[in-house]
Amino acid sequence: MTADYDTLIRNAKVLVGDTLADVDVALREGRIAALLPRGAGTAKDIIDATGQHLLPGAIDIHFHIRAPAFPERGTVESETRAAAAGGITTLFEMPLSRPSCSDARQVEIRRAHFAEHAVINFALFGAPGDLSDASLAAMRDAGVVAFKMFTTPSPEGRDDEFYGIAFPDEADQLRALEAAATVGRPIVVHAESAQLLAAGERAVAGRDPADLDTHLLARPDICEAVAVAKLLTMNIRAGARLHIAHVTSALTVAVLRAFKGTSDFSAETCPHYLFRTHDDVKRVGVFGKINPPLRTKADQDVLWEALADGTLTHVTTDHAAFSEAEKRSGAADIVSAPAGSPGSEILVPALLDAVASGRLTLAHAMALLSGNAARRFGLLSKGRIAEGYDADLILVDFAGTTTIHRDTLVTFARDVAQLYEGAQFNVRVLRTIVGGRTVFDGRVVGTPGWGRYVAPGRDVPVAASPVYA
């Protein structure tokens, strides 16, 4: 007798819409085939998830692997394995590489490389490159999920990585927004004012270059807020689907609120801004250097309010792997030290810990981690548990705990994850399922090449023919 389904996940509490349902979930050919009454159906594989919650996998819209360049900072295989271990089923890879991903040819090269090595699903950002409508249209046709630019200049010595990504000139920024609007893809912006950053660096010229306070003073909140205000003003004219990356400050939240309704924009923050402050950065030194910087408890409180009132609608890792030696080599000059921290295995446990502590509802946390990303970026078959949607799922145990420790992290950058070393979260990701296949069940069991290229608007939910009428 043949089984009805490939896999049945039995006895979990299942997030269906905004509520938990007592249903069994049947998977077939990589999709969710049916939500069934307890005990119904047959399958080749049965997963008994008694005591566990079945949730959509996280869609992390802000991830840096940089491959095929920089294997010394980890690889597609190492970092997608880490993401799998962290409950992430789809990541959006930023366009920084060598060369940068700023034309359709580079998109195809990176797509082929990621397709060969990724354990989880991936989407690619393009950079605005030469700012022509034709080039952006070609990248759209190659499937980029969105465009990404910085309003800051390239860091010293990294011009090739940032070619076509870094646009400190406001006329270029406006052109990028217009081109993204013309070709119909969102544009994500790392927003800090180049002029105010330059002033900030001049202001700290006499300070101790190894002091972490020097970094914070060189990049005050006004840098971010002014850049965001200018972009939002431009977007009234340009009409792009604009998304502001990694919001850090109360001042920027005030700007986002002031512009509400003036154009189509959204914004994200990251766990390090929600769970850590500049005091933690001072504790771990250069390993806490991130751009824009972590700020005060008062800023952090406003970020939580902005999640609550819907000003911020996404939480992302901004995962950036570095070797310990590379990070440490910047310690003597904090302003120019490499910026970034690994978040692959922090994001989901941190946000679900906030559910465990009553700070977020489960439905809100999953919207921030998955559902809002799917909607905002046109991934029509992701972000929900419903018939016909992709079987990108996680099983979590709210009675379990996750302790972050270098010896158990999967990311290549485990030695760099010092902002969270020793952190304990009151939840545990037990299993990660990508396209119906288990890629993590306490250890990573996914194989390079299992991840699929995700392009907006292509996959729509396919309702399977019901086995039970």
| Least Cβ distance, residue 113 to Zn ion (angstroms) | 19
| Least Cβ distance, residue 227 to Zn ion (angstroms) | 15
Sign of the torsion formed by the C-alpha atoms of 202, 203, 207 and 209: negative
| Least Cβ distance, residue 316 to Zn ion (angstroms) | 8
221-238 helix and 250-258 helix, angle to the nearest 10 degrees: 20
> What tokens were used for 282?
């001072």
> What tokens were used for 325?
């030696």
| Least Cβ distance, residue 64 to Zn ion (angstroms) | 6
Number of amino acids touching Zn ion (CB under 5 A): 1
Question: Using CA atoms, how far apart are residues 193 and 195, in angstroms rounded to an integer?
Answer: 5
- The answer to whether residue 224 forms part of the interface with Zn ion (CB under 5 A) is no
Contact 67, 394 (CB under 8 A): no
Give the residue closest to Zn ion by C-beta: 318
Closest CA to 379 of 367, 390, 388, 368: 390
Of the two residues 52 and 317, which places its CB atom closer to Zn ion in the complex?
317
Contact 458, 143 (CB under 8 A): yes
Q: Identify the bridge partners of residue 444 per DSSP, sorted by sequence position.
A: 440
Pairing of strands 53-56, 58-64: unpaired
CA-based diameter of the chain, in Å? 78
| Least Cβ distance, residue 425 to Zn ion (angstroms) | 23
| Least Cβ distance, residue 28 to Zn ion (angstroms) | 37
Q: What is the arrangement of strands in the sheet containing 437-440, beginning at the earlier edge strand? A: 19-21, 13-16, 53-56, 393-397, 428-434, 437-440
The contacts of residue 9 (CB under 8 Å, 6+ apart) are 24, 25, 26, 27, 47, 49, 54, 393, 395
Contact 389, 64 (CB under 8 A): no
Interface mask toward Zn ion for 78-97; x: CB under 5 A: --------------------
Residues from 377 through 396 that contact Zn ion (CB under 5 A): none
Phi-psi region of 246 (alpha: psi -120 to 50; beta: other; left: phi over 0): left
Of the two residues 93 and 318, which places its CB atom closer to Zn ion in the complex?
318
Of the two residues 350 and 395, which places its CB atom closer to Zn ion in the complex?
350
Of the two residues 373 and 385, which places its CB atom closer to Zn ion in the complex?
373
Of the two residues 246 and 437, which places its CB atom closer to Zn ion in the complex?
246
| Least Cβ distance, residue 240 to Zn ion (angstroms) | 19
> What tokens were used for 204?
């700290």
Residues from 309 through 338 that contact Zn ion (CB under 5 A): 318
Q: How far is CA 131 from CA 106, 148, 167, 178, 241, in A?
A: 15, 12, 10, 9, 16
| Least Cβ distance, residue 23 to Zn ion (angstroms) | 38
Of the two residues 36 and 127, which places its CB atom closer to Zn ion in the complex?
127
Of the two residues 318 and 345, which places its CB atom closer to Zn ion in the complex?
318
Which helix (H) or strand (E) segment is 175 a member of?
helix 170-183
Of the two residues 60 and 318, which places its CB atom closer to Zn ion in the complex?
318
| Least Cβ distance, residue 318 to Zn ion (angstroms) | 4
Which residues would be at the binding site for Zn ion (CB under 5 A)? 318
